[in-house]
Amino acid sequence: MLGRNYIKVLYIDLTTRKIKIERREDLMEYIGGSGVAMKLFSELVKIDQDPLDPDQPIIFAIGPMNTIFPVVTKTAAVFRSPLTGNLGESHAGGRLAMAMRFSGYDAVVITGRASSPVYIAITEGSVDIKEAGFIWGERVERTGKVLRDRETHIGSGKRSIIRIGKAGEKMIRFAGVNVDTYRHFGRLGLGAVFGSKRLKAIVIGGNRSYPILKPKEYNKVYNKIHKIATESGAMKKYHEIGTPINVVPLNEAGGLPTKNLTQTKFELANEIDGVSFAEDLLLRKLSCSGCPTGCIHIGLLRIEYGPGYKTKFTGVGYDYELIFALGSMIGVGDKKGVLRLIDAVEEYGLDAMSTGVILAWITEMFKKGLLTEDQLGLKVDFGDTEAYLEIIANIVKRPNTFYRDVGMGLAKLAEKYGGKDFAMVLGKHEMTGYHTGYGAMIGQSVGARHSHLDNAGYALDQTMDKLDKREMVRKLIEEEIDRCMLTSLHICLFARKIYGDKELVCEALDSIGIKATPKSLTDMGEKVWRLKNEMKKKMGFDFRELRFPKRFFETKSLNGILDTDTAKEIVDIYVKEGGL
Ligand code: SF4
């Protein structure tokens, strides 16, 4: 789409090994990223078949501004989620968007199932489906290293390697896909969909260059955006401490989910706050390709693995959501413990947030006598890092029926074993790190991908003076539509303060030959949002069936105790106002 009037789509069928390329002018109205991926998904998804059926598609898409403008770094992945059975959408940074740009493809569609494990190597002139038996069973980091050494013809600076670990191979429904190092398509089980296709990895890159239509205008608008990104303070907090800067304020305000949301203040919050990490363990900061911010904070983890001071040093990426899920939510209040748990889920390729919330439920189930030592193979209490490491290993090894069931995700697990009142899922998706009020709870429930990032309801809870249900609904919808626009261009959502200025976005698009107005961008965002909701309905989602675990109404949120009637009323208003 950059410098041309079509979206170039690469289709790969792993069953037949057929490759097809299409130049789709009709997709231009969706611009790119989420929009294009959703449109392709709507054409290809098999509504009546299981999410892990070989015919289900995986779609990756980038937008026209990726790599060309600062902080426009993300790639959308759209698929049918094996965790919720419904819409799966995840976004990742790293080098992937840049590598897709240089490979020449705006979107890549993968269907089918290989007869044996494979990886795909994509570059400008070639698409190869290669045997991956030698790395099947390998951990994530090792897989990346092996493929780096093998695929040297795909230029390293402009290359991206995305891959699954054992969790994805075993189709654990909250397995993610690791992108390069420290970035992920974490949520909703894309890793399991890779596993179902016997797809271990994708290596992609190239050297394609693109003419910039109006170089003078481009330089001007690029410099303007770069200046805002580096000098205005808009990105400052992300660079300095990163998202973990939120731990202490959220804790003090009483919104930090702790010990399976039995409390919203964690006595050890100061120990696992961003400042504490920065002072004691920060090793370095990294950026996605094309971002001057560097918000990816890497902590130094020293692991003793044998007698005689056998020690390994490793870098582990940490951010707020990981610290919530593998820290406060399970009562782990020491930084090293949190990093060890992050390192474990990273190497198996599990979604850290879902894993943490499941560990919290397991702990409470065990403490209440609803799960036995026999089932777990050990005893567990909040804060017990060693036990959690063993449970994580068992989730992947699956030594018995219970651990095999854990692989289905928390909603299904609680249906079978009980404890639904404190199984912290919203829209069948494990909760995110905010118990701030109705905004966070309803926002995740009604958001198209049941992510806190759909509509940032947690932020509304912290900025609205008093609860006004209609106003909250209006803001949730507006925000989600805006974000559908941003993620179709594929701007990192941390840069929304910069690109929230739609005139600036139009100026940027104009310099690369794309005509848009603030209104046309909003209309496009709304169209994508409506398409998502339409697809969700087709796949069986019904707002009237939304349920909230009782615990959300028992534990005081940042905005006090919530009540079910108000929650239901807000959902009803949402459906009505949104015309859903
Ligand atoms: S702000 Fe962070 S996540 Fe966003 S593009 Fe930059 S480095 Fe990547």
- SS3 of 207-255: the string is CCCCCCCCHHHHHHHHHHHHHHHHHCCCCHHHHHCCHHHHHHHHHHHCC
Where does residue 279 rank: exposed (0-12), middle (13-18), buried (19+ CB within 10 A)? exposed
- Give the chain's end-to-end CA distance (angstroms, integer): 31
Compute the chain's Rg from CA coordinates.
Answer: 22
Q: How far apart are CA 273 and CA 296, in angstroms?
A: 15
Ligand 1 surroundings by CB, under 6 angstroms: 71, 73, 93, 238, 287-288, 291, 293-296, 492, 494
Q: What is the pLDDT of residue 156?
A: 67
Q: What is the pLDDT of residue 21?
A: 98
Comparing CA positions, the residue from 423, 422, 464 lying closest to residue 443 is 464
For ligand 1, pick from 72, 185, 225, 296 the residue to mutate: most ligand atoms within 8 Å of CB: 296
Q: How far does residue 289's CA lie from ligand 1's centre (Å)?
A: 9
259's CB contacts (< 8 A; 6+ apart) are 266, 328, 329, 330, 331, 360, 363, 382
pTM: 0.97
- The residue whose CA is least distant from atom 2 of ligand 1 is 295
Q: What is the pLDDT of residue 97?
A: 97
Q: How far does residue 537's CA lie from ligand 1's centre (Å)?
A: 32
**Strand 75-80 vs strand 159-163: parallel, antiparallel, or unpaired?**
unpaired
Q: How far does residue 93's CA lie from ligand 1's centre (Å)?
A: 7
Q: How far does residue 89's CA lie from ligand 1's centre (Å)?
A: 18
307's CB contacts (< 8 A; 6+ apart) are none
For ligand 1, pick from 68, 73, 298, 319 the residue to mutate: most ligand atoms within 8 Å of CB: 73
pLDDT tens for the chain, 580 residues long, are 777 899 999 999 999 999 999 999 999 999 999 999 999 999 999 999 999 999 999 999 999 999 999 999 999 999 999 999 999 999 999 999 999 999 999 999 999 999 999 999 999 989 999 999 999 999 999 999 999 999 988 876 789 999 999 999 999 999 999 999 899 999 999 999 999 999 999 999 999 888 899 999 999 999 999 999 999 888 888 999 999 999 999 999 999 999 999 999 999 999 999 999 999 999 999 999 999 999 999 999 998 888 888 898 999 999 999 999 999 999 999 999 999 999 999 999 999 999 999 999 999 999 999 999 999 999 999 999 999 999 999 999 999 999 999 999 999 999 999 999 999 999 999 999 999 999 999 999 999 999 999 999 999 999 998 989 999 999 999 999 999 999 999 999 999 999 999 999 999 999 999 999 999 999 999 999 999 999 999 999 999 999 999 999 999 999 999 999 999 999 999 999 999 9
Q: How far does residue 186's CA lie from ligand 1's centre (Å)?
A: 15
Q: How far apart are CA 160 and CA 119, in angstroms?
A: 13
**Strand 7-13 vs strand 429-430: parallel, antiparallel, or unpaired?**
unpaired
How many Cα atoms occupy the beta-carbon half-sphere of 275 within 13 Å? 6
- The residue whose CA is least distant from atom 4 of ligand 1 is 492
Q: How far apart are CA 401 and CA 298, in angstroms?
A: 36
Q: How far does residue 441's CA lie from ligand 1's centre (Å)?
A: 26
Q: How far does residue 354's CA lie from ligand 1's centre (Å)?
A: 22
How many Cα atoms occupy the beta-carbon half-sphere of 574 within 13 Å? 29
Q: What is the pLDDT of residue 284?
A: 94
Total residue count of the chain as it appears in this document: 580
Question: Which tokens go with 492?
Answer: 């990192």
SS3 21: strand
Task: Count CB neighbours of 496 within 10 A.
Answer: 17
Question: Which tokens go with 498?
Answer: 């910069």
Are the beta carbons of 235 and 293 closer than 8 angstroms? Answer: yes
